[in-house]
Amino acid sequence: MKKTPGPDGAPASPGRRSLLKAGLAVGGLVATGGLARGSEVNPDNLPPNVADWSRYLGAGVDAAPYGVPSEYEAHVVRRSVEWLTASRESSVNFTPLHELDGVITPNGLCFERHHSGVADVNPTDYRLMINGLVDTPLVFTLDDLKRFPRENRLYFLECAANSGMEWRGAQLNGCQFTHGMVHCVMYTGVPLKYLLEEAGVKTNARWVMPEGGDSAGMNRSIPLEKALDDCMVAFKMNGEALRPEQGYPARLVVPGWEGNMWVKWLRRIEVGDEPWHAREETSKYTDLLEGGKARRFTWVMDTKSVITNPSPQAPILHGRGQTVLTGLAWSGNGRITRVDVTTDGGRNWHQARIDGPSLPKALHRFYYEFDWDGSPLLLQSRAHDDAGYVQPTKDALRAARGTNSIYHNNGIQTWEVKADGSVENVEIS
């Protein structure tokens, strides 16, 4: 299917005849996709026959009271890299971005990053203490927190080390592993300013230090201005209680800032007049620069994007023809205003179509439909945000930061699509 580009370089919407052709192609896609996963098409289930699943009663409403994914989606799971998760003291797994669409991450697929494993907190015994430079130190139960006015906010959460293995070149062959330490959910909780106002913050207060209930006692220093602006204490994600691996029963939400500051199993918030310079903000989570110096603080997750399909774990299986390229973009500074994509390694750029909600500090979904002629491709995406920031190339990032860091790699990612449709992680900039 060949289409005429729109006036702004974006692809025009396909006409009715084109859609009919696309429908026929989709049928082929389903069959091909099934074969790719190792299952064989049963011709008895194909039209005009009555499929097997239409002949018998299905399971009743009580078969799965909480609901579970289809057994045919069993491959859609978080995955880990063995050499990155050698112990329970420090573990991480990755969201399967290439299997998802839209901007909401299902709770069961949100990546995990723990500094001492998942704390098993009994909500009856849960308490949150606020102390330090306050008029009245307070201790809240979970029910106390739920009596404050609550808000719902959609935010992305990204680990500072997302794409950290790619600083010196292409390493991991799959966007799940190069970019899968990001997710986006609807958080429900209490603005932190309400709790701080209840305790009464003293005039010389400048910082807060949230502390986790895990055995690591994970803590970070956060400027009071940020705490009063948009931080919240969340107890729900996508409508249900936080999952244990996401900080049940309550965690801190720090919109747009690196994930380690979103302290899970939140048990204490101390108010102070200067940062604490704890372990996680001195020996860890600092950006080491080329000359050996380290940045004192790097909080915001800058503008970034990645093409999720096609990608190494999501090759082109249908052969030549209409192809849907899609991916995700996000910015810790605000909204994504534009995403450009290229299929020839940056010689020509095309404006992608952003579809779905466009909310500040949340994931944005983009699409670019094109006609693949079977020749090799070099795919890249480049995001812009409403602060005027443009996602840099990896070379530009290295020129400013060197190659000694692990954190805050938001450089442009390249996937190479080969003539057989397979995809590899490569680097051309």
Q: Rounded to an integer, what distance in angstroms lies between the CA atom of residue 24 and that of residue 211?
A: 56
Q: How far apart are the first and last CA of the chain?
A: 32
pLDDT the model gives residue 86:
66
Half-sphere exposure of 191 (CA within 13 A, CB side): 10
Instruction: Note the helical H segments in 189-311.
Output: 192-199, 224-229
Q: How far is CA 122 from CA 68, 93, 144, 165, in A?
A: 25, 25, 16, 36
Of 16, 17, 19, which is closest to residue 369 (Cα–Cα)?
Answer: 19
- Which residues touch 381 (CB under 8 Å, ≥6 apart)? 305, 306, 307, 327, 329, 339, 340, 341, 352, 366, 391, 412, 413
Q: Give yes or no for a contact between 260 and 406, defined as CB atoms under 8 angstroms apart.
A: no
Strands in 50-132 per DSSP E: 91-92, 113-114, 128-132
- Give residue 371's pLDDT: 98
Contacts of 312 (CB under 8 A, 6+ apart): 173, 174, 175, 415, 422, 423, 424, 425
Question: Structure pTM?
Answer: 0.90
CATH (residue range 304-426)? 2.60.40.650
Which pLDDT score, from 0 to 100, does residue 193 have? 98
Token couple for 33: 């996709």
pLDDT at 202: 98
Torsion 260-261-262-268 (CA) sign: positive
Contacts of 379 (CB under 8 A, 6+ apart): 307, 310, 325, 341, 342, 343, 414, 415, 416, 417
DSSP-derived secondary structure letter, 45: G
Instruction: At 126, give phi and psi (nearest 5°).
Output: -70, 135
Q: Which of 306, 418, 427, 297 is nearest to 366 (CA)?
A: 306
Domain extent listing, the chain? 107-296, 304-426
Given its phi and psi angles, is residue 237 left (phi above 0), alpha (psi -120 to 50 degrees) or beta? beta
Per-residue confidence of the chain (429 residues) as pLDDT tens digits? 333 333 333 333 333 334 334 333 333 333 333 334 557 899 999 999 999 999 999 999 999 999 999 999 999 999 999 888 768 888 999 999 999 999 999 999 999 999 999 999 999 999 999 999 999 999 999 999 999 999 999 999 999 999 999 998 999 999 999 999 999 999 999 999 999 999 999 999 999 999 999 999 999 999 999 999 999 999 999 999 999 999 999 999 999 999 999 999 999 999 999 999 998 898 889 998 988 888 989 999 999 999 999 999 999 999 999 999 999 999 999 999 999 999 999 999 999 999 999 999 999 999 999 999 999 999 999 999 999 999 999 999 999 999 888 999 999 999 999 999 999 999 997
Look at strands 414-417 and 353-355 and give their pairing. unpaired
User: Considering the domain 107-296, what is its CATH architecture?
Assistant: Alpha-Beta Complex (3.90)
